[in-house]
Every structure is written in C-alpha cells, then in structure tokens.
Amino acid sequence: MLEAMDLGCMRAERPLFKGLTLHVAPGECLFIHGRNGSGKTSLLRILAGLARPARGTVLWQGRGIAQPGNGYRGQFFYLGHAEGLNGELSAAENLRALRDAGGAAGRPADIASALREAGLAGKEHLPVRALSAGQKRRAALARLLAEFRPLWILDEPMTALDATAHSWLALAMDRHLRDGGAVVASSHQEIALKRAHRQLRLGS
C-alpha cells in the first residue's frame, strides 16, 4: 500500500535520517519512535506529501505520490500536532467543511455518528473555541470516522486525550486495520492495538 525507499531528510544541513526504507501493507500499523528532534514529524510530513525528502521516493500502490493523477491526496488523512479546526465553527461544521473541501460525498448522519463515537454528543454544535483541549483533539480525530480513507498518518494522536479517549482511539484504529486500512503513527505513549503492528525507531 505505502512504500518509502532510501529516504533521506536534512535539517539545517544536518541529516535527520538517511537510507530509510519502509512499507505498510493493508491491515498493518507502523509506529514511529524516536527522541525529540529525531525526525518523526518530518518523516510523517514526507509520507503525506507535505514536505520533500532530501533523497528517496515515496510510493502509493506502486506509483510515486507526486505523480499527477494518482489520487493520493484523497487516499489518506493526516493529523499533525495542530487540530486544523476553525475555532469559530462547530465541530460538525468543521468536519462538513473539511469533507466538502476534499471533494468527498457523505451524509450529515456520518458526521453526527463520528462525533458521537468520539464522545462529543451534545457538544457537536458548540464553537470549537469553547471546547477543552481534549475535546478539540477528539473533534479532529472524529474526521477519521466520518469517511473512509485507507491510510491514516497520525502525529502524536494521543496528545491531550484522557484514558477513556485513549481506549476509544485504539479501538477505532483496530477497526480501521480490520477493514483493510493502514496506519502510520508516532506516539510517545503506548497505543495498545490487537491488530498487527510494527515498530520503526529513528535516531538509534
């Protein structure tokens, strides 16, 4: 599904990593570990096509992700450190706007169901700025459930989540893997998955 070959990344003329090769198959999760500054976020941004590697290639289903017409942008969700939500809009309005911007068709019921599963029932129509940090994170993560995209690229998805939300996200990830999706995630906190997962450590 997703492959990277001989990736290299530089920061201020210093190599963060080089010669990195990885692959993620359907139904598989790859966890990225490493100390702060080892290049975890840089690697995830490269895999999402948001940054260019110093060298190497990223492939989606055998084709370079930068090739025109491969449709890669519509095949994954990327969640970084920021939630990427408009504070003046409600969680429901944010998810609807993000879905529409991505050109996806969907039903309002899908968004309502996703927010309810994320623990935001009764708060889905409040402005996002009125939510707690954990609730904002759950609103951003609810987008993963509102429409199916085969690849999730998640940078520290457990940030600001309590124990209940930890369990919910782990279950959501397991279900996504069961349904043939794939996940690449960095996390300083353990995510207990039942499905197949592997580890990649940077800076070791």
- At 55, is the secondary structure helix, strand, or coil? strand
At 106, the pLDDT band (50, 70, 90 cuts) reads: low
Does residue 154 lie in a domain region? yes
57 inside domain: yes
Q: Report pLDDT digits (tens) over 31-84.
A: 999 888 889 999 999 999 999 999 999 999 999 998 877 889 999 999 998 889
82 within a domain of the structure (yes/no): yes
pLDDT of residue 13: 83
Its domain, for residue 55, covers 2-89+147-201
Reference 29, options 201, 199, 197, 202; nearest CA is 197
Residue 95 covered by a domain: no
User: Can you say how many angstroms the Cα of residue 58 is from the centroid of all Cα atoms in its chain?
Assistant: 16
In a domain, 192, yes or no: yes
What is the number of structural domains in the chain?
1
**Inside any domain, residue 69:** yes
Asked if the structure places residue 52 within a domain, the reply is yes
DSSP H helices, 48-162, are 91-101, 108-117, 133-146
Domain CATH number, residue 175: 3.40.50.300
| Choice between 128 and 109, residue whose per-residue pLDDT is larger | 128
pTM, entire model = 0.93
Give a yes or no: residue 59 inside a domain: yes
CA 64 to chain centre: 20
Contacts of 109 (CB under 8 A, 6+ apart): none
Q: What is the pLDDT of residues 129-145, one digit of tens each?
A: 999 999 999 999 999 99
Q: Average per-residue pLDDT in the chain?
A: 92
Q: Which two tokens stand for residue 52?
A: 């260019």
Give 39's contacts (C-beta < 8 A, 6+ positions apart): 9, 11, 16, 17, 202, 203
